[in-house]
Amino acid sequence: MMRRSILAALCLATMLTGAARAQTLRVALREDPDILDPTLARTYVGRIAFAGLCDKLFDINETLEIVPQLALSYEWTDPTNLVIKLRPGVVFHDGEALNAAAVKYSLERHLTMQGSFRRSEINVMDRVEVVDPLTVRIVLKTASSPFVSQLTDRAGMIVSPKAAEAAGKDFGLKPVCAGPFRFVERVPQDRIVLEKFPQYWDAGSIKLDRVVYLPIPDSSIRLANLQAGSIELSEQILPTDADAVRSNPRLRLVTSDNLGYWGITINLANGPRAKTPLGSDARVRQAFELSLDRATINQVVYNGLYTPMAQGLSPSSPYYNKSIQPRERDVARAKALLKEAGATLPVPVALTVPNNPDQRQTGEIIQAMAAEAGFDVRITASEYASALSAATRGEFEAFSTGWSGRVDPDGNLFSFMHGGGALNDSHYADPKVDALLDQTRTVQDVAGRRALYAQVVEQLSKDLPIIYLHNPKNVVGLSARVTGFRPVPDGMIRLQGISLAK
């Protein structure tokens, strides 16, 4: 009887799930986004939802160039004066006009609102002036060449001043922006639903009627949903699942370079735990690096999908230093370096790894490889949030960790490598690197900055406060019905141009 009723329910469900939906794109996210207020938001996946909700002053394209979005153009009238021309005829989801006053309001909100996470991104901003209804002038306290790139992300999102004033801190419960889709509803941990905004300034590029973001934390379940056709797009497919997607005729796999990196941060001067052979002698770190074969790690753990790398800048960045390539594994040379440094063998290394299958596996491979050169690697797997806290407090010797990356190279290097950098857990401080990094912020032209970053990257590859391992890829799984998806290294899912075949 029981079995029969289950069968009946199964058959019923079959009929139901077969029903087609009209131009609704269902997107699986790796976690539930936090608050949907561009000023207060912190998470990566939140930015994916914002790509549908909130347009920015500028956007980036596939080659990381800054392109207009809500702004038409920008011009530095001097190193601290940025004049931005706005796109005419843009309206917010509540029908209010997007003008210079709204831009001033949003930028000031990002800068001054209590709890703002944008403040640290734009705190070089002194004031915003309304020149005319479609022109704003931003005056900086000091020259900052990375500033415009900050306006290509949440700091450049413009919210409706009327709605933001009315809602205050609760704005994120019902955000009102000027993006292609407007907010419909959110059920925490279940879904975020957006619908097409007919008055969008670029309405012609929007083919979808609705977008539903579904947080599905388990990667195999995201894949199962994609295979079963109950979602059309999944961000972050595991490299080990890539073949399952590729071999399925109804699915498509799209990979693109990511802005970030993965590497091993070494404690050089952050508290007593820095006093290790690895922390105190660059030759020992070089020996450790020479004992590793990045290509093997990439092949075994990531199915060969990621890009082995020896610097903190993404291969997609115009500032990527092509002359700094991963060194070939050389155990003999590693042993020689250890001898030269006078290290007692085996050299103990306490390696903290995040408690994920791929990171534990990477740790074990490193352990085996480094052992051949004379290192005794002990692995501690720790939940990531706890490990990050510990790293900030200096309670680590070597920590396998990564960074999601930023469009401007400043975002990948300054905070980590500058002596006063906010995320410099290693407490690396080199006067030459500090001076170079300071200088990159004042130079505007790409060629000039590239020359400076080339020197920074080269010095870091000798000092090795971070042993960079690879550049992860953005691996997106799509239903074959999806057309017009355009991968950009920031991993955001831009909805412009996407449509669904019947």
Q: Are 85 and 74 in contact (CB under 8 A)?
A: yes
d(CA 101, CA 93): 17
Nearest distance, CB of residue 285 and another protein, angstroms: 22
DSSP label at 91?
A: B
Q: Which is nearer to another protein, 106 or 382 (CB)?
A: 382
Secondary structure class of 127 (helix, strand, coil): strand
Interaction between residue 345 and another protein (CB under 8 A): no
- C-alpha–C-alpha distance, residues 251 and 81, integer Å: 48
Tell the smallest beta-carbon distance from residue 16 to another protein (Å). Answer: 6
Nearest one of 26, 471, 475, 32 to 236, comparing CA atoms: 475
Task: Verify binding: residue 131, another protein, rule CB under 8 A.
Answer: no
Q: Does 221 bind another protein (CB under 8 A)?
A: yes
Distance, CA of 107 to CA of 127 (rounded, Å): 9
HSE of 70, CA atoms in CB hemisphere, 13 A: 31
Nearest-approach distance from CB 389 to another protein, in angstroms: 5
Return the residue of 32, 232, 281, 397 that touches another protein, per CB under 8 A.
32
Site track 414-453 with another protein (rule: CB under 8 A), x = hit:
-x-----xxxx-----------------------------
Tokens encoding 89: 């005829």
- The reply on whether position 8 binds another protein by CB under 8 A is no
The answer to whether 106 and 404 are in contact (CB under 8 A) is: no
Q: Site for another protein (CB under 8 A): which residue of 83, 97, 124, 224?
A: 224
Point out which span in 103-111, 181-189, 286-294, 468-476 binds another protein (CB under 8 A): 181-189
On whether the CB atoms of residues 465 and 166 are closer than 8 A, the answer is no
181 DSSP β-pair partners = 196
Q: Which x/- pattern over 38-67 shows residues binding another protein (rule: CB under 8 A)?
A: --x-xx------------------------
In the complex, the smallest distance separating the C-beta of residue 208 from another protein, rounded to whole angstroms, is 19
Neighbours of 218 (CB within 10 A): 10
Sign of CA dihedral 170, 33, 63, 415: positive
The site that binds another protein (CB under 8 A) totals a number of residues, namely 59
At closest approach, how far in Å is the CB of 353 from another protein? 15
- CB closer to another protein, 281 vs 397: 397
Q: If binding is defined by CB under 8 A, does position 173 make contact with another protein?
A: yes
Q: Is 324:310 a contact under the CB 8 Å cutoff? A: yes
How many CA within 13 A on the CB side of residue 498? 28
Q: In the complex, what is the shortest distance from the CB of residue 500 to another protein, in angstroms, rounded to a whole number?
A: 18
Binding residues vs another protein (CB under 8 A) = 2, 6, 9-14, 16-17, 31-32, 34-35, 40, 42-43, 114-115, 117, 119-120, 169-170, 172-173, 187-191, 214-218, 220-221, 224-225, 227-230, 382-383, 385-386, 388-390, 392, 403-404, 415, 421-424
